Structure 1
Amino acid sequence: MAQRYTRIFAALDGASTQEAVAERAVALAADDHAELVFGHVIDSVPYEASGVDFEALCAEGKKRIEADLADILAEARANADIPSVELIVRAGRITDTLGHQLIEPAQPDLVICGERGLSNIKYAFVGSVSTFLIRSMRCDVLVVKQD
Structure 2
Amino acid sequence: MGMYQRIFVALDGGPTQEAVARRAAYIAQHNNAALLFGHVIDSVPYEANGIDFAALCTEGRENIERELASVLAEVRADDQIPSVDLSVHAGRITDTLLESQIEPFNPDLVVCGARGLSNIKYALVGSVSTFLIRNIDCDVLVVKPEEGDE
TM-score, normalised to structure 2's length?
0.96
Query: Is 1:145 aligned to residue 121 of structure 2?
Result: no
Contact 2:2 2:33 (8 Å CA) reproduced: no
Per the alignment, residue 93 of structure 1 pairs with 92
Q: Counterpart of 1:80 in 2: which secondary structure?
A: coil
Structure 2, gaps ≥5 residues long: none
2-side partners of 1:3 and 1:57: how far apart? 36
1:132 paired to 2:131: yes
Question: 1:77 & 1:20 partners in 2: Cα distance?
Answer: 17
Aligned-residue offset at 1:3:
6.2
What is the rounded CA distance, in whole Å, between the counterparts of 2:15 and 2:59 in structure 1? 20
Residue 50, structure 1, aligned to residue 11, structure 2: no
Report matched runs for 1:1-147 at 5 Å: 4-147=3-146
Residue by residue, what CA displacement relative to the aligned partner does 1:77-96 show, whole Å, maximum 9, x if unpaired? 00000000000000000000
Residue 72 of structure 1 aligns with an amino acid whose one-letter code is V
Query: How far, CA to CA, are the matches of 1:121 and 1:43 in structure 2?
Result: 20
Contact 2:9/2:20 (CA < 8 Å) preserved in 1?
yes
Deviation at 1:119, TM superposition (A): 1.1
Output one character per residue of 1:97-118: Cα deviation in whole Å (capped at 9) or x when no partner.
0011110101000000000011
Q: List structure 1 segments (4+ residues) > 4 angstroms apart after TM superposition.
A: none
